[in-house]
Amino acid sequence: MAKQPGGGGRRELTVRVKTARGRKTSSQKWLQRQLNDPYVVEARQMGYRSRAAFKLVEIDDKHHVLKPGQCVIDLGAAPGGWTQIAVARTKAIDTAETDGRATGPTPRHQGQVIAIDISEMEPVAGADVIHLDFMDDSAPDRLRSLMREAAADVVMSDMAAPATGHARTDHLRIMSLAEAAAAFASEILKPGGVFLCKVFQGGTERELLDALKRDFETVRHIKPPASRADSSELYVLATGFRNR
């Protein structure tokens, strides 16, 4: 079980950001929050690319989404925090990548992680990374072309559209991404597969929720501790894909 960063009786020092000419108040507050966020500090110390890695760690520790040998599709992967966790927990690192020795046939316990994002991201050892908008018509076929098997065990999405500042518009935009991710999951998952996706407060729209309940045995909303308390961010976790 992952310990919450900043625990263990350590005294946390608050970093104050000095006002800089040309820096907006909102930018100053964001920077101060980043510098004083224990998850950000811990992510940097552990080599994770983002604090979001802890969200997946906490979800997986509780709900056991990731297992050795699985094929995982990571949508909206940049900068790669979730990809790093998926590689480690599915054991997707190939011996040849770490010590230069050829491994022959793929070990049965070795997983596969395929990540895609519209933004470029640095390679992650053990993962296949695609620089492409998931909403591009060619994206599903590009993802399939890299899969070693015909179906995936897990589809997870941390996709989010750039915020407009208009709550209703932002909600509709992220729901559009969630619906596209769910549709892809229903086409690519194995029986018993898992779908994990970010949504915003207000939860999952009725049409998507009904579709997920039809296609999966269990559907729940979760908010991991690493998700900021003042954020409207939630995750929908659907398990036990029925493969209708």
29 is catalytic: no
CB-CB contact of 82 with 33 (8 Å): no
Question: What is the spatial distance between Cα 18 and Cα 88, in angstroms, rounded to a whole number?
Answer: 39
Angle (nearest 5°) at CA 199 between 65 and 6: 65
- d(CA 24, CA 215) in angstroms, rounded, equals 46
For residue 69, the 8-state DSSP code is: T
Of 42, 107, 112, nearest in space to 81 by CA: 42
Of 18, 55, 67, 198, the active-site residue reads 198
Neighbouring residues of 242: CB distance < 8 A, sequence distance ≥ 6: 191, 214, 215, 216, 217
Task: Report the C-alpha gap between 11 and 151 in whole angstroms.
Answer: 48
Question: What is the DSSP pairing of strand 152-157 with strand 127-131?
Answer: unpaired
Residue 222 half-sphere exposure, CB side, CA atoms within 13 Å?
Answer: 21
Q: Is the preceding peptide bond at 79 cis, omega within 30 degrees of 0?
A: yes
Nearest to 71 by CA among 114, 112, 15: 112
Catalytic residue list? 198
